[in-house]
């Protein structure tokens, strides 16, 4: 190896060591951070705000998903729908967030009878506020945040299995409330 190659390798290693580690999970809004406002429409078209849930002493799950009416996103949304009564009994509001439009959310909600508020975030402002990366350009990665009654992030799921996630979240809420799952 030439001296120049060795010098470049040493310089690269030194630069890499000096940069802060930034992984997918560490870049997300962390546990303990204040949750940014989220505002969505429920199945009746009424506006529901995350801040109002905190004021009422309720937990909320804010789940980011890539795209309305795609296989994994449909599975995840329907799992939350199927557990909706259990969430209500636990005092938890569900917010589904994607970069899709209000019209797309309306069609998705109607097709699958989704009862929870859905947040249209076509500009990506909510996604950026929660520091959720793109799965691919213009589409949020599948990530969820549990917001406590204090309005702060209580738990983060950086990698979500859409088939079991709704049940996992309920278990985490039970654990946070001091109940057995």
Closest-CA residue to 99 (of 64, 60, 130): 64
Could you give the CA distance from residue 161 to residue 164 in angstroms, rounded to a whole number?
6
Residue 49 in contact with residue 121, Cβ under 8 Å? Answer: no
How many whole angstroms separate alpha carbon 63 and alpha carbon 126?
Answer: 11
HSE at residue 116, side-chain half, CA atoms within 13 A, is: 26
Question: Helix or strand or coil: residue 105?
Answer: helix
**Integer Cα distance of 77 and 83 in angstroms:** 10
78 catalytic? Reply is no
- Out of 28, 73, 92, 146, pick the active-site residue: 73
What is the helix, strand, coil percentage profile of the chain, to 5? Answer: 40, 20, 40
Provide the annotated active-site residues.
73
């Amino acid at each position: 190896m030439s001296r120049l190659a060795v010098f470049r390798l040493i310089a690269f290693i030194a630069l890499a060591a000096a940069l802060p580690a930034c992984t997918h999970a560490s870049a997300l809004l962390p546990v303990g951070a204040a949750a940014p406002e989220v505002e969505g429409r429920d199945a009746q078209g009424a506006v529901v705000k995350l801040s109002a849930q905190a004021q009422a002493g309720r937990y909320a799950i804010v789940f980011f998903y890539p795209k309305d009416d795609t296989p994994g996103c449909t599975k995840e949304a329907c799992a939350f729908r199927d557990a909706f009564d259990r969430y209500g009994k636990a005092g938890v509001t569900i917010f589904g967030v994607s970069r899709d439009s209000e019209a797309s959310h309306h069609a998705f909600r109607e097709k699958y009878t989704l009862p929870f508020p859905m947040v249209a975030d076509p500009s990506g402002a909510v996604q950026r506020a929660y520091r959720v990366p793109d799965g691919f350009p213009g589409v949020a990665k599948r990530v969820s945040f549990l917001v406590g009654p204090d309005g702060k992030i209580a738990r983060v799921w950086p990698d979500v299995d859409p088939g079991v996630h709704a049940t996992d979240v309920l278990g985490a809420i039970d654990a946070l409330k001091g109940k057995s799952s």
